[in-house]
Amino acid sequence: MSCYLTTGKHMGFYWSFLTVLSLLAITAPLSLSFGFGGAVAARSRIAPLAWFGKGYIAIVRGVPDIAFFLFFVIALDQGIEYLRHQVLCPDWPDAIRQGNDFLVCPEAKMPLGNAPQWLHETYGFFLAVFTFAIVFGAFAANVLFGAMRAVPKAQLETAEAYGMTRRQTFWRIIVPQMWVYALPGLGNLWMVLIKATPLLFLLGVEDVVYWARELGGTKTPRFTDYPHGDWRMWYFLVLLIFYLAFTRVSEIVLDRLMRRLTRGQATAAGEAQRKAAA
């Protein structure tokens, strides 16, 4: 049994958990910054920018997220290749879209056709990260947009009375104060992000789902030393338990963090805490 669990392919399976974790580690700050940008754009006084920000928030929420994942991966890939094509081969004679094909010159291929396998995989992974960041950025933008508006009016009026400009008010008053209001929403988003990670599989990354399908499938004695029947059910049970444990731990940590942050705040939760202690 221990031999079975330490085959090379199983090692790939264990590494893929790390893929999931690193996706989370990169995507979370990236989508937070996307969200910040989106929220700032939506608040902008320049109309087209505000429309862009609001449209970004609204569209991603109105359409199934999976559709976005599937869309952005191809769209980003083609966009990058198109730009490289324009720069690298300006005098390419043929059209890029020919019927059902998307053809760029070989130098513009991304990654290059002769690149090693790991480069392809890394590129695919970063496309996936970027896609996740775009989609979750919209959700984060919505949370932050609400949080910015939740900062008490009196604070802003005071800032104005002190002669602060709009920009100064934003950076010195709104941004430091909005996090308390944003935290419940962002915490919820984090849970959602954890639960979205198996969708990496749809983006062509060799993640936990890929390996669970691969390893669980029926093995015949001809190809492997460890023949077994269809074990995919058990592999997915393992994944199910992994995710349950992960969300549970996050829930506990977020709960602690929230309790910590509300301590001494003039909100209902803070008040309840004070009463409980007294």
Query: What residues make contact with another protein under the rule CB under 8 A?
Result: 59, 61-67, 70-71, 74-75, 78, 97, 99-102, 139, 142-143, 185, 188-189, 192, 194-199, 201-202, 209, 212-213, 216, 230, 232-233, 236-237, 239-240, 243-244, 247-248
Q: How far is the CB of 36 from another protein (least distance, A)?
A: 17
CB of 57 to another protein, least distance (A): 10
Q: Which residues contact 79 (CB under 8 A, 6 or more apart)?
A: none
CB 57 within 8 A of CB 120: no
Task: Report, in Å, the least distance between residue 234 CB and another protein.
Answer: 9
**Between residues 240 and 272, which has the closer beta carbon with respect to another protein?**
240
Token couple for 73: 């991966």
Cα separation, 242 vs 16, in Å, equals 13
What distance in Å separates the CA atoms of residue 102 and residue 92, rounded to the nearest whole number? 14
* CA distance linking residue 269 with residue 278, whole number of Å: 14
Residue type (1 letter), 28: A
Beta carbon nearer to another protein, 124 or 216: 216
Minimum CB–partner distance for residue 56 and another protein (Å): 13
Instruction: Pick between residue 63 and residue 158 the one whose CB is nearest to another protein.
Output: 63
Toward another protein, which CB reaches closer, 169 or 197?
197
Q: CA-CA distance, 81 to 105, in Å (whole number)?
A: 9
Tokens of 106: 């070989």
Q: How far is the CB of 48 from another protein (least distance, A)?
A: 21
Q: Is 87 exposed, middle or buried (0-12, 13-18, 19+ CB in 10 A)?
A: exposed
Helices (H), 44-169: 47-62, 65-88, 117-150, 153-161, 166-169
Q: Which is nearer to another protein, 80 or 239 (CB)?
A: 239
Residue 96 has phi, psi (to 5 degrees) of -75, -45
Q: Which is nearer to another protein, 151 or 194 (CB)?
A: 194
For the bound state, the minimum distance from the C-beta of residue 240 to another protein, rounded and expressed in Å, comes to: 5
Peptide bond into 198 cis (omega under 30): no
Query: Shortest approach of another protein to residue 23 CB, angstroms?
Result: 13
Residue number, 6 or 188, with CB nearest to another protein: 188
> 């309840």: which residue's tokens?
272
